[in-house]
Structure 1
């Protein structure tokens, strides 16, 4: 809660200075539907971020991959996300992603140390090929908006991209904001 208060105060300072931080844009979050009858067990396993709306909270820019370890007792995931920075340093974050009582299972909360708790909304997934994820918070007339194309393979421009591009467009999320996450032969996946 303290991090939300600090971020809110920061936004007031930025707005009063007429300079917005990169992660803030005018407008409201899209009202997206989420995956119906979401099965947390089937979501378990490795996912690769292949396209994203640039996210300053992620310290890596290439080879981004996550392992979602489902815990049936906790009804949540322990998530290890890793990748390489622009200077080729291997970086890793560990946290939890879980549903809350207020929302359906496909609308979860991201809980990582030093990262603002934000929604993790699975708009659509087939569990085996792609997952289209939206994360957005409204701040009055502004929004902090992130989108992710997850693929079960580290393939850019493949079926996950094609499917999620259509899903995001259908939900009025500007796919031109997405950048490609490089996945090359030099990538080592250690999440």
Structure 2
């Protein structure tokens, strides 16, 4: 009976993940960037690739701008284009432990935004000037829900060496890097603010 209840609960949770990559298993505790310098991380990042997310399906020219709020949280504004129309998502970033692990936090969107309300946000690799790799894993019973991003400071292709290094990094922790989907930056025009 407990197994049936657990499976029923998991099935009910699937719509909440909005198409993120979910698989059987448990989240791993992946190390984050140490020491992490938030001031250097702030600014605009272009999305080179990401794991599939239903709410971002069809979005091209995606970029996110991170800026500090007076209450020590971060405002995260993600802009892109879907079917020729600008799309904007506004989120709130919070760091779990600013002293001991400032690269591990949570990104939350308002209830009116069609994305998972809150998810882990772990900066696992960055050089601050060129690239960053973000990973998220949330546990739903015996399933894990994963999201990952490869972010760049400029909307251009990174070197193969960098990409292979990122892919092998994920493989080391049992995460499938082939879940990455490349973000299209062809025919990008200047995004205009538009809210859902």
TM range (shorter): 0.7 to 0.9
Deviations 1:4-63 (A, max 9, x none): xxxx98633478xxxx97433222223211111111111111001101001124365211
Residue in structure 2 matched with residue 173 of structure 1 by the alignment:
175
Quick check: 1:51–1:156 contact (8 Å CA) kept in 2?
no
Alignment of 1:118 with 2:124, yes or no, is no
**Alignment size in residue pairs:** 178
Residue in structure 1 matched with residue 50 of structure 2 by the alignment:
52
**Structure with higher strand content:** 2
What is the TM-score of this pair, normalised by structure 2?
A: 0.78
Residue in structure 2 matched with residue 99 of structure 1 by the alignment:
95
Deviations 1:61-82 (A, max 9, x none): 21110111124x4333211101
Q: Distance in 1 between matches of 2:171 and 2:133?
A: 11
Q: Give RMSD over aligned pairs.
A: 2.7
Deviations 1:65-111 (A, max 9, x none): 0111124x4333211101112x2221001121120249721001101
What is the TM-score of this pair, normalised by structure 1?
A: 0.80
- Cα distance, 1:116 vs structure 2: 2.0
* Greater alpha carbon shift after TM alignment, 96-105 vs 20-29: 20-29
Change (3 A) 1:35 1:61: same
State the SS of the aligned residue for 1:106: strand
State the SS of the aligned residue for 2:29: coil
Quick check: 2:19–2:53 contact (8 Å CA) kept in 1?
no
Quick check: 1:40–1:70 contact (8 Å CA) kept in 2?
no
Quick check: 1:134–1:148 contact (8 Å CA) kept in 2?
yes
Residue in structure 1 matched with residue 34 of structure 2 by the alignment:
36
Query: What stretches of structure 1 move > 4 A for 4+ residues in a row?
Result: none
Residue in structure 2 matched with residue 89 of structure 1 by the alignment:
85
